[in-house]
Amino acid sequence: MRRPPLSPLQRVLLVLLGAGWLFAAIGSHFVFEPQVAAAYDGESFAWLNQKIAGHKAHRAGAGLDASREWYAARMQRYAWNVSALATLYAAGAAAVIALPAVRRRLKKFFFASSAPLNLAVLRIAAFGMLLYLLRSERILTYAAWPRELYDFPVVADWLYKFLPISAEVASPLLMVATVTTVLAILGLFTRVAAVVSVLLAIYLIGIPQLSGKVNHLHHVMLICAVLACSRCGDALSIDSLIRAVRGADRGVVAPPRRGVRYGLPIRVAMMVLATAYFFPGFWKVASNGPQWVFSNNLENHMLQKWFELETYTPPIPLHQAPFSGPMGALFAVVFELGLPLALLWKPTRIAWAAMGLTFHNLTNLLMNISFVTLQVMYVMFVDWQRLLRWLGRAMLGEPIRVLYDGNCGICRRTMAVLGVVDWLQQLKPVNALNREAVEAEGLGFLEDAALVTDMHAAWRESSRDGGVDGWRTAKGYSAYQQIAWRVPVLWPSLLVIYLPPVVAIGWKVYRRVADSRACKLASPHKPAAAVAAHAWSWKPLAIVTAVILTAQVALGTARLHKAWPVACYPLFDQIEQPWVVWPEFELVTKSGERLPLDDDPIRDHFGSARYVAPMKLLIQEPIDEPKAAEVLNEFAAIWRNAGDLPEDEATINRLVVTRSRYDLTGPQRPAEPTERTTGFEMPWRQVTARHQLAPIPDAQGREH
């Protein structure tokens, strides 16, 4: 079939796209290298000057090449990599503009329908992880830091510039965020609770990110932001029960059906994950080519991580298997690069989700990096409604028919509430006053008088040979007993509802309610279809999606992984070496006695992820003196609380920091370094007063 010709608008868009590609692909070669060369000398704009100075000091302190030539070569490679990304973006956009098949595939992916239950499961998972972060991140600890010690990430620097940061401010906000997040999980005032929870969480969880180490928890904030713009409270929520009761008064008994309004937020959440994975995979290959995969690089990454953890040994030594490093590296790159494209088809989507869980659990096994907040988000790849329906059919057979009085307000409310919690889809409500509906179910043998008098439950009995013996029915309290078998939330009641005293009481209560109920017609002013289609506007979701995905792509292209609340995720693209430079600490008393200080209390205080950044700050060359003084002051307080300092601190003369190189061979940290070089020292009174550093003279009298 011949493709239709391009429209004038399509041609204009393609021309503009080509011009943009030329500007990005060619212009990058004339921009990056001169700007970085100027920043190397501190003559570019302030932000880049600071970034290059910090990066240069870190590389020099770690014993790596920090020369002008290295940065020039790096920028040349980066320009080519940006050209490659620009070509990839342009090719993808051109395919969307020019090829109808591509547009159909994208439309089928983004606008697929889903069940309210599936979106609700993602809501509980996402806000559950948000609650976990609010309780586990050391928010108040970092909020009490002096502002001079903060290292503001990209994007967050302008945000926190106008916001106060203190424990006094963070503490009450943390309480409010906790309450609203719990409400979002429970589904009470879901829309308002979700919005407030997300806004407060971005501020509060962002405070620990100012410590110099950004933990990449961004996906939790971003997915929760997407959910806050959706109807994620239409199932598994208190709001859905309230809405069901109100809808029943208008004649709506059935719960909301599958629709795009429930599928679109899930697909956007999938794209958030895709951007988190794709750019690390791209930069691994773009920066190093095949060397990142086919070398000892992954083993060296594991050695570095084991050193930081100090006491961790993989429970299963998979790293000792032949070719485990290259095979693991290849698996990671294929998974990360392939996910955005794999999402477009259901079979590959499922396969890549399985790869992702395998990737994270192997990483956790080998390096003690679980990324549990990412793994929990994989609930979005499961169609929970269809899975639960299949389980219901497998365990309980086909649904039972529940015949109720459609003119009875209590009956309608009961059926509406049961429909909300009918997760196995084992109940099929039938209005007993609609004779055509009753006969269509094959229940014409039930008399109208009996159906109006009592609620009935009807189900088919299966014979031993696999056939159907016929219908069995139960009415009144007995019907509720049958319903309880089919609704998981009622299963605990099965322990008591068949006890003789409970049965007797149950029949009396049922009889009194059934005989005294008043006929209440549904409100005629609003049709059932209008009530079922709860109000929802796609515009907030579209705006939030555009902002999130644009920011993720921009920061991923720029390799900006130290950012908040959007960022490129950890690249791990550097070719690591089997050695590490690490600071060692020693107290010198006034009597000349030397007392070593361990870094274990530092790790215990900050956590294994965050203590690395302040430790590496102390090995930079040249040292950032004011910031190092602030860090040592914090360390001194930690050692004091751990009982590692002498009882009489007046006997301490100074604190000495030494750069020590360790050659790494396995999970256990070496007992002694292979080389020590002079660092710096600080008089103890200055450590506790946050003053400047005094350099140590080396053996030749030169200062460092």
Q: Report the relative pairing of strands 427-431 and 400-404 from DSSP bridges.
A: parallel
Joined together, the tokens standing for residue 242 give 């309230």
| HSE-CB of 696 using CA atoms within 13 angstroms | 16
Residue 25 has pLDDT above 80, yes or no: no
Q: For residue 693, name the pLDDT band (cuts at 50, 70, 90).
A: very low
Give the DSSP H/E element, type plus range, for residue 20. helix 8-40
What does the buried/exposed string (b/e) look like for 73-106 if buried means 16 or more CB atoms within 10 Å of the residue's CB? ebbeebbebbbebbeebbeebbeebbeeeeeeee
Most confident of 162-166, 318-322, 564-568: 564-568
Please state, in angstroms and rounded to a whole number, the distance separating the CA atoms of residues 548 and 571.
19
Q: What is the pLDDT of residue 532?
A: 42
Q: What is the pLDDT of residue 530?
A: 39
| Of residues 610 and 593, more confidently modeled | 593
The predicted-structure confidence for 166-219, as pLDDT tens digits, reads as follows: 999 999 999 999 999 999 999 999 999 999 999 999 999 999 999 888 999 999
Please state, in angstroms and rounded to a whole number, the distance separating the CA atoms of residues 253 and 251.
6
The predicted-structure confidence for 573-590, as pLDDT tens digits, reads as follows: 888 889 999 999 999 999
Cα angle 84-89-91, degrees, rounded to a multiple of 5: 90
Q: What is the mean pLDDT of residues 412-418?
A: 92
Q: Are 608 and 309 in contact (CB under 8 A)?
A: yes
Q: What is the mean pLDDT of residues 329-355?
A: 95
Q: What is the pLDDT of residue 700?
A: 35
Q: What is the pLDDT of residue 625?
A: 81
| Of residues 627 and 396, more confidently modeled | 396
The predicted-structure confidence for 478-526, as pLDDT tens digits, reads as follows: 999 999 999 999 999 999 999 999 999 999 998 888 887 655 544 443 4
Q: What is the pLDDT of residue 386?
A: 95
Coil/strand/helix, residue 443: coil
The runs of H, that is alpha helices, within 249-369 are 260-288, 297-309, 324-342, 346-367
| Of residues 126 and 620, more confidently modeled | 126
Weakest-pLDDT range from 58-67, 70-79, 355-364, 671-680:
58-67
Residue 403 pairs with which residues in a beta bridge?
Answer: 430, 456
The secondary structure of residue 697, as a DSSP letter, is B
Max CA distance (Å), the chain = 108
The runs of H, that is alpha helices, within 430-499 are 435-440, 448-453, 477-486
Q: What is the pLDDT of residue 347?
A: 95
**CB neighbours of 699 closer than 8 A, spacing ≥ 6?**
none
Percent of the chain clearing pLDDT 70 (strictly above): 94
Per-chain mean pLDDT for the chain: 87
Burial of 288 (C-beta count, 10 Å sphere; 0-12/13-18/19+): middle
SS (H, E, C) 189-230: CHHHHHHHHHHHHHHHHHCHHHHCCCCCCHHHHHHHHHHHCC
The predicted-structure confidence for 540-552, as pLDDT tens digits, reads as follows: 999 999 999 999 9
Coil/strand/helix, residue 146: coil
Please state, in angstroms and rounded to a whole number, the distance separating the CA atoms of residues 483 and 427.
8
Q: For residue 122, name the pLDDT band (cuts at 50, 70, 90).
A: very high
SS (H, E, C) 488-539: HHHHHHHHCCCCHHHHHHHHHHHHHHHHHCCECCCCCCCCHHHHHCCCCCCH
Q: What is the mean pLDDT of residues 614-622?
A: 86
Q: What is the pLDDT of residue 524?
A: 44
Q: What is the pLDDT of residue 526?
A: 44
The predicted-structure confidence for 237-253, as pLDDT tens digits, reads as follows: 999 999 999 988 888 88
The predicted-structure confidence for 337-349, as pLDDT tens digits, reads as follows: 999 999 999 999 9
How many residues are listed for the chain in this entry? 704
Give the DSSP H/E element, type plus range, for residue 58. helix 46-61
Q: What is the pLDDT of residue 690?
A: 55
The secondary structure of residue 236, as a DSSP letter, is S
Most confident of 135-149, 232-246, 308-322, 567-581: 232-246
Q: For residue 254, name the pLDDT band (cuts at 50, 70, 90).
A: confident
Percent of the chain clearing pLDDT 90 (strictly above): 50
Could you state, in order of their start, the residue ranges of all structural domains in the chain?
A: 8-98, 387-531, 579-695
Q: For residue 319, name the pLDDT band (cuts at 50, 70, 90).
A: confident
Residue 317 has pLDDT above 80, yes or no: yes
Q: What is the pLDDT of residue 649?
A: 87
